[in-house]
Structure 1
Amino acid sequence: MLPCYLLIWLLVLITPARTQSSPEPASIDTLRQLQEHIDQQRSDVLKERDRLWEIEQATQEQLNGILYHIHATETAYKDYNFQIQVANKRIQELQQELAIAQRVYDQKRAATIARLRWLQRQRHSGSAWDFLLKSQNLKEFFDRRQRLKLVYQADRQILTDLKAKADQIKQQHSEVERQKNKVALFTQQLLAQRLQLEAQLENQQQLIERLNNDRQALEAAQEQLAADSQGIGTLIRSAIAKARYPHTRTFGRGQLAFPSNGEITSNFGWRTHPLLGKSRFHNGIDFGASYGSTIRAADGGRVIFAGWYGGYGYAVVINHGGGLATLYAHSSKLYVKEGQTVQRGDAIAAVGSTGLSTGPHLHFEVRKNGEPVDPSRYL
């Protein structure tokens, strides 16, 4: 949908430039016809411009969000890799400990079983009684009996320890399995993160492509704005030459008043365009003013154009005589008409953001014989 909107917008922007390319002898009448033709389309143009701006803003926000999420995903990816390395190392340690514990357990178990079997055989064969009866006296008899009792108790303790060791080995087996499952889960999550990252990268590329297409369209619009600027120069020269008052007559004082109470946000000369990001020559100065605030005539003169003019949006051009003219662009409302005489300080329009504009402001130009000059020389 977006390229269609841009195409419609650019076609409308191009219309006045083509109409102005070969001005009729009665230039004021031609300009009135141009204004009527453009005014029929201005509502759709404004809607498409606003929609384009909203889409560009939303796309940029989505792009910033995806870039942030990709950065977070890459950080998580590194964290998962580290956790997997730690888990694998722990598994190796547990497996080594388990192998040692199993070996010790097997050795002790085999030795204990062998001794218990020997003691069992000795008990059934009467060797234990023989051991006691060989005592020389009663004290030795009780000593030998105590030693046999300790041997049996030691064997029972060994069996208890072996059982505890067996339980410990089972727990270690469970721990190893738990660690393996943990690593498997991390691996699955890592694969899912990779797939998600690839999808986000693809979306990012598509968004960047869309932004590039929008940028190219805006560059084309900027080129049209340059053509509009040339058309304005032709308009001024033609209107001055054909007006009822010769251009040698001076309406104003020559010293211009500030047309807006806003601060100057962009000067005359080369600058980086706020939408295109490229160096462009700025034919006037911009005043950062609130939407709807008053735009005033910089000096007395006759209005030679008041209407929609391509990338300038709603604009007013005033002929001050002596080859000097001023232009007021991107207005939201116009308070004057062509042919009307205005005095210095009269309200002629309201600040807006029509045409090729990034936000509410006044674009103010001073033209000398149709050519843009630095307004600071006259203010």
Structure 2
Amino acid sequence: MVKGFKFNKFHILICLILILNSIVVYADGNDVNDLQQELNENKDKMEELNNDIKNNKKKANKVEKTIEQYDQKIESIDSQLRSYEAKINNLLDNIEITKAKLTQAKESINEKNDTLNSRLRVMYINGPIGYAEVLLGAEDLGDFLTRLDMVKSLVDHDVELLKYMNDQREKIETNKKELENKKIILASTKEKIEEKKNNLEVVTRQKEREMTRLKQNTKELERQYDKLYKEANALEDKIKRMESAGKYTGGRMAWPVPAYRKVTSPYGYRIHPVFKTKKFHTGIDLRAYYGTTIVAANGGVVKISGWLGGYGKVVLIDHGGGISTLYAHNSRLLVKEGQRVTRGQAISKAGSTGYSTASHLHFEVRDKGKYENPLPWITKQ
């Protein structure tokens, strides 16, 4: 122990303050890393949920189209059923008409049969006089020929009458059978069509239940996504507050697209190219054809390297002092989260991912989370 040194309460207090400060600094550093890791995990879950939501909506659209097709088929079948119903009703009417004709024909045949029987009865009453007796009773040749013509006429009439009676009966019976057969065929076809319709209605109800389930599932996924989105925003705000304690010393930044020097859409209000509504443009769009190299505007630490909603594939770099830059809509990312990059280092390749209509770079500068006009921060030199 050094002589003359007094280790009093003041010295103990100073030591405690130094120790606590070091612990706080260490803890803050760990808190930021932990929060960043939690944020990254949160965004990974959001991306998974987003993919699930897209798949669900895709399935729901497919099911909806299938239901529409089934509805169209059912409507077509209903039209066929109405047509068959009309044909069957028409056949039933024709069968009734044919039955009436058959009844009328039978009555006519019965009348003609009665006439024939009456004539036979007269012949029977007058005695058993046949055609031969009539001919033999002729007085002379002229009388014989007259009697022969009369007998021939009677025979022909009897034959024709019997033939007519049989033909009429057969035709009407045949027509009736044909109509009844057609009725059976139509009824059978109608029954098959009705069965097909019933099967389609069963499948349609199944698809409608599937559609309801998909919509409910999508709603639940969207609820989870919204919750994660709010949590992610809260984490980002907390990280920004913790990182804004320092001071930015990076000076003027480099142009992030060395190959091209054109601003295609400025900072501020504009008509959104995708949504076609007036929205605030939080950065600037720079010309960058597909695959063009994008570089870091200044040195710093990569905080985000991945998918970020409508931004598509993004890189977010923290430059210290609360200043950060964001590079959006990339086709490929060349850096990882937590990686330290230098001014002008290649960090990505330009593309059109997320809410974008063509390949370009959306570039943002943020001061403690607040959007800044990037142009005063960067130089084309």
* 1:88 equivalent in structure 2: 89
Q: Return the offset for 1:305.
A: 0.6
Q: Which has the larger radius of gyration?
A: 2
* 1:335 equivalent in structure 2: 335
SS in 2 for 1:300: coil
Instruction: Summarize deviations over 1:63-117 as a string: whole Å, max 9, x none.
Output: 32232122212221122112211221232123213312x1332133213322333
1:172 to 163, 171, 175: 175
* Stretch of structure 1 that moved more, 57-66 or 71-80: 57-66
User: CA–CA distance in 2 between the matches of 1:218 and 1:284?
Assistant: 30
SS in 2 for 1:125: coil
2:222 to 219, 222, 241: 219
User: CA–CA distance in 2 between the matches of 1:210 and 1:366?
Assistant: 41
Q: Return the offset for 1:211.
A: 3.0
- Give the AA of the match of 1:335: V
Decide whether aligned partners of structure 1 residues 257 and 362 sit closer, same or farther in structure 2, where only a CA change above 3 A counts: closer
Residues 135-146 of structure 1 mapped to structure 2, 5 A cutoff? 137-146=140-149
Number of residues of Structure 1 aligned to a counterpart in Structure 2: 339
Which protein has greater RCO, CA pairs closer than 8 Å, 6+ apart?
1
Asked whether the equivalents of residues 307 and 316 of structure 1 are also in contact (C-alpha less than 8 Å), the reply is yes
Decide whether aligned partners of structure 1 residues 137 and 271 sit closer, same or farther in structure 2, where only a CA change above 3 A counts: farther
**Structure 1 length as normaliser, TM-score?**
0.65
- Give the AA of the match of 2:78: Y
User: CA–CA distance in 2 between the matches of 1:285 and 1:79?
Assistant: 62
User: CA–CA distance in 1 between the matches of 2:139 and 2:285?
Assistant: 124
Residues 82-161 of structure 1 mapped to structure 2, 5 A cutoff? 82-100=83-101, 102-121=102-121, 122=123, 125-126=128-129, 128=131, 132=135, 137-161=140-164
- Give the AA of the match of 1:98: K
Q: Return the offset for 1:343.
A: 3.7
Residues 252-271 of structure 1 mapped to structure 2, 5 A cutoff? 252-253=253-254, 257=257
Instruction: Summarize deviations over 1:234-265 as a string: whole Å, max 9, x none.
Output: 544643x245xx32643414x664999xx99x
Asked whether the equivalents of residues 233 and 371 of structure 1 are also in contact (C-alpha less than 8 Å), the reply is no
Instruction: Summarize deviations over 1:162-213 as a string: whole Å, max 9, x none.
Output: 2222222222222232233234324423542443344234223322322322
* 1:67 equivalent in structure 2: 68
Asked whether the equivalents of residues 294 and 349 of structure 2 are also in contact (C-alpha less than 8 Å), the reply is yes
Q: Return the offset for 1:31.
A: 4.0
Instruction: Summarize deviations over 1:271-295 as a string: whole Å, max 9, x none.
Output: 7999xxxx999977999x99x9577
* 1:297 equivalent in structure 2: 295
User: CA–CA distance in 1 between the matches of 2:137 and 2:374?
Assistant: 131
Q: Return the offset for 1:137.
A: 4.7
Decide whether aligned partners of structure 1 residues 127 and 155 sit closer, same or farther in structure 2, where only a CA change above 3 A counts: closer
* 1:9 equivalent in structure 2: none
SS in 2 for 1:247: coil
SS in 2 for 1:303: strand
Gaps of 5+ in 1: 1-23
User: CA–CA distance in 2 between the matches of 1:157 and 1:308?
Assistant: 103
* 1:316 equivalent in structure 2: 315
Identical pairs, percent: 16
Decide whether aligned partners of structure 1 residues 219 and 37 sit closer, same or farther in structure 2, where only a CA change above 3 A counts: closer
**Structure 2 length as normaliser, TM-score?**
0.65
User: CA–CA distance in 1 between the matches of 2:119 and 2:273?
Assistant: 100
Asked whether the equivalents of residues 324 and 368 of structure 1 are also in contact (C-alpha less than 8 Å), the reply is yes
SS in 2 for 1:338: coil
* 1:228 equivalent in structure 2: 232
SS in 2 for 1:126: coil
Decide whether aligned partners of structure 1 residues 375 and 58 sit closer, same or farther in structure 2, where only a CA change above 3 A counts: farther
Decide whether aligned partners of structure 1 residues 56 and 375 sit closer, same or farther in structure 2, where only a CA change above 3 A counts: farther
Q: Return the offset for 1:335.
A: 1.9
Q: Return the offset for 1:333.
A: 4.8
